[in-house]
Chains A and B, each alone.
Chain A
Amino acid sequence: MEEAQVIGLLVRRCVGGDPAAWEEIVQRYHRRIYSLCYRFAGDSENAQDLTQEVFIKMYRTLKTYDAAKGAFMTWVTTITRNLLVDHFRKSKGDRLTDSLDTTSSDHEDAQPLSEQIADQGLAPDQAVRGREAREMVHFALQKLSPELREAVILRDLQDMDYREIATALRVPEGTVKSRINRGRAELARLLQRTYKQVI
């Protein structure tokens, strides 16, 4: 039985009131959704809250899911993305992409963004590989604007194709590609300034 058929069956059972089917759905997708929320939100606490919100919304709107309109994962990603965007619009953390030489505050002598990242106190040769390097990339990812961040996360971390991303983000495929390009380039500029070297 294909994955789509299994999910369709689980959804029908869940809508019919089978709690075991709902638990199976949660077990299948909570890891992926949590990962998406964690990469987008940047910390575990917010990621847990957002993941719970995603599943609460899923549980309430599960009967509206139509398998003919798209894959279940795309539908779930759309819900997640909408909640993430809403969350960051409400919070003060929402911002446009920071330029490398702009500062996060209005003071002229404030540290540029690239120097803020470099303040982690890690030597480049130690941080290229390993956990510290991943933490640096994760930190730099939070500096991207939500539009670029969600595009690169869905493409490079969630391994979704352009069409699925376009459906989830409700934008044209060309826009998705452009955002992925810009997001990757912005991230590389941030990290290049940090390490003072070209990868």
Chain B
Amino acid sequence: MPGETKHGMECSEFDALLLEALDDGGLSGIRKEAFEAHRRVCPVCGPMFTEVEAGKQWLRTLALERVEPPLHLVHNILAATSGVPSSRPLNVTAGGKTPVGERMRQWWDSFFSPTAAFVRQPRFVMSFGMIFFTFSLALNFAGVKASDMAKVDLRPTAVRHAYYDAQIKVVKYYDNIRFVYEIESKVRELKKANAPDESNTPQQKENRKNDTSGQPEQKQDRNYSREENETVLAGLTERLDEVVPCRQAARCELPGSSTLLAGTANQIDGGPVAKKVFAVMSEATNRRLV
């Protein structure tokens, strides 16, 4: 029992000497004999001595393992305290050398950084794969081969020239289109201005006499004028299949229209549409004069 004296030593005294016997090089002399005798006899202290000794052995195996802190721990501590970054490189250990395994791990970690890990998600990988597959199919159907890419001149000067050529084409196309729309708007204005004069043709007067519908005359004139104009335009359209140049022919009724058209045609940079417009307008002018 605890507190009982066995071989001249109490259990409490045995407990106090236990660490000294195990850690501090052991006991000696009479104290050692009494300690050993008590350990052999006492049913409590004997097993306890065995357990404490075993526990110490277990902990000794654990003490052999060196616990390595993370490499960034010092940097985190300095950032959280003084705020001054470490003057020592992150990947250098106390010995001044970085183990190969550690360097491999750092490389691996850097490759799988949070950003990379985000992109590496299966859904993104699947999306990238589908995009690649789609482009491959599209290029295959378009007849583009990988060998064709080798013929593409990717020199900076060649790319710059290609860019300027494309820009010139776009500017020319835009200018031509603008000119056509301007002419079209002018034709529309002239048509409105000439509409009352055209209503006084003999055929219209005859139609007006036969008209028993009771509709206002002005409206009828406008309709007849439109029909007559449409006839002219239709005739022109058959030749060029373009409504816009046909409408420009109306402008030929104005004095000096040929000179105007010739001048504007010269401004067009030899575009095919402008040449057609000019040709139609000249022909329409000649017909009217005849």
A binds B: yes
Q: Which residues of A contact B (CB under 8 A)?
A: 19-20, 22-23, 26-27, 30-31, 34-35, 38-39, 44, 47-48, 51-52, 55-56, 59, 129, 131, 133-134, 137-138, 140-141, 152, 156-157, 159, 162, 174, 177-178, 180-181, 183-189, 191-192, 198-199
**Is B167 engaged at the interface, CB distance under 8 Å to the other chain?**
no
Docked complex Cα distance between A162 and B24 (Å): 11
Q: Are B76 and A52 in contact (CB under 8 A)?
A: yes
**Is B67 engaged at the interface, CB distance under 8 Å to the other chain?**
yes
With A22-B81, A30-B73: A174-B16 Cβ-Cβ less than 8 Å: yes
Residues on the A chain within 8 Å of B88, using CB: 23, 27
Picked from B15, B61, B77, the residue with its CB within 8 Å of the CB of A30 is B77
Q: Are B62 and A137 in contact (CB under 8 A)?
A: yes
With A137-B61, A157-B62, A177-B19: A184-B81 Cβ-Cβ less than 8 Å: no
Q: Are B67 and A38 in contact (CB under 8 A)?
A: yes
Docked complex Cα distance between A192 and B48 (Å): 13
Can you report 5 residue pairs joining A to B where beta carbons are below 8 Å apart? A156-B59, A156-B63, A157-B59, A162-B19, A187-B58
Docked complex Cα distance between A44 and B69 (Å): 8
Residues on the A chain within 8 Å of B86, using CB: 23
Q: Which 5 A-B pairs have the closest CB atoms?
A: A184-B55, A188-B54, A188-B55, A156-B59, A185-B51
Q: Are B18 and A181 in contact (CB under 8 A)?
A: yes
Interface of chain B residues 35 through 66 with chain A (CB within 8 A): 48, 50-65
Interface of chain B residues 74 through 130 with chain A (CB within 8 A): 74, 76-78, 80-82, 84, 86-88
Chain B nearest CB from A179 CB (Å) reads: 11
Picked from B15, B65, B77, B84, the residue with its CB within 8 Å of the CB of A134 is B65
**Is B156 engaged at the interface, CB distance under 8 Å to the other chain?**
no
Residues on the A chain within 8 Å of B15, using CB: 178, 181
With A30-B73, A156-B60: A188-B80 Cβ-Cβ less than 8 Å: no
**Is B216 engaged at the interface, CB distance under 8 Å to the other chain?**
no
Q: Are A34 and B67 in contact (CB under 8 A)?
A: yes
